[in-house]
Structure 1
């Protein structure tokens, strides 16, 4: 294997306390079944719905079987989870009568969308008919679906950190908010604005400038393309919470509220076009970004065109893209 600073960076042996498998490049798996089981119980036992018929509350989890894990393969995070569960619920009618029933979820897994979950609500066999059953079949199912979505979101956000490790010169590990605010002094700190403008067109005409960049990444175009439009990948290389809707017309926000924009055209594995803005720019003003991915076998040449940058912001924007996008992606994923 090559020593640090030599050869293909994906195979570098770096001097570090966690030693082998630098950046967790080859294969890393983390079993999160125990955490998942406990978190699902906590979330489900908090389910409560109210209606004109009365109140229904989940009281116990009688069955919770399955597993969950996170895998990293060549810089790609793969989330696997599969659960089947049965919970008991207690309904109290408006006149004080008690009714018991069950909730079954048969297919909570990474292969199914939350909207496709089979959630079955029923009364126990010895219970008479009650309007509370209708309450659980409407509001109850909706609340169960919501908290299961919360579990999936927490699984993806809390356990992705550390699966892909930084290199010696990589971006620093996340700092507490107060420290991060004190240490961020660069002119360009790329991150999301509080909200994305519904229209990318500038509100006022201002002097602008343009520039081009070119960078080569040691990865095929499909992997590099996914890195720019996949929310989980963006959160990993920026080391901060991001919101990325990777489709045409989808909006994005990233890096602690400094950058926002909208994808205007996506050609899978070939081109990404977006309206992009830094939050200190004049309100409503966006630059037009075009990323062309040129396939060179095991390498991808990325050609970037940036048009409409406010005059005086060219150097800062160029530096920001080079540092917070290109270098961060290379150092995080080994590209």
Structure 2
């Protein structure tokens, strides 16, 4: 490659097929011992969605990737009980690495619950799934080592690597954390506006959670338990006219009403909202036979922010709670 091309030209290489093969080879087959002779194992990569690219701009390597990965797992206990299910890492991305965050995962067991099956499931959540994280943290360097020469870099480590920067405001990205759940990072407040155009549609996300309604209410409102799923400090009291701060102060607002354990209504904002603007967030809890439905409904989102708000609620509330297992 010419000196001009190497230092001033933008060039990219698609690496998604390689990435899927690399992740498969590095993670499928991992096994954790349970008891004396039992085990749980990653059987296969059942889903790999997203894109992976390596770029070269002005002599610097740019890693660009954002993938969702799902595995099938199975296990067998000392007494011969078998269990199976899935492990999902919803976001393996350069942004997680940039923020120094930990990779979040979600687990499910499709086998009927029993003492032996639950022991296997605990091993999946506490040992097997976390054991996959080092591969994801090493992925950026593995990508560079495998493909840098194709972009004219004979010595990848000497060139450095980065990820693209952007001036576009998005939903609160993951902040620094060393746990399985991410937290939204602070961002400069938007300039004050005399009036804010708001969406005419409510933003809604919901999920069935394997927890009682009283326990879910406590997780959402007890300041000592909120950090269990937000992985960040929290200030909260389920009392009308009380101000709160979640995710280390990146979500703020005021409680409007609290009807335990069924509904919590708040004034609610993210750092991406125009200065001084709040939406109204309703958290509705409905208990079923063996689970509780949590529905989050936000009205008054700034126009154009609906998709970001939906992603924010899904990522930091629903996935945060699911990450507890």
For the aligned pair, the TM-score class normalised by the smaller chain equals: 0.3 to 0.5
TM-score scaled to structure 2, two decimals? 0.45
TM-score scaled to structure 1, two decimals? 0.44
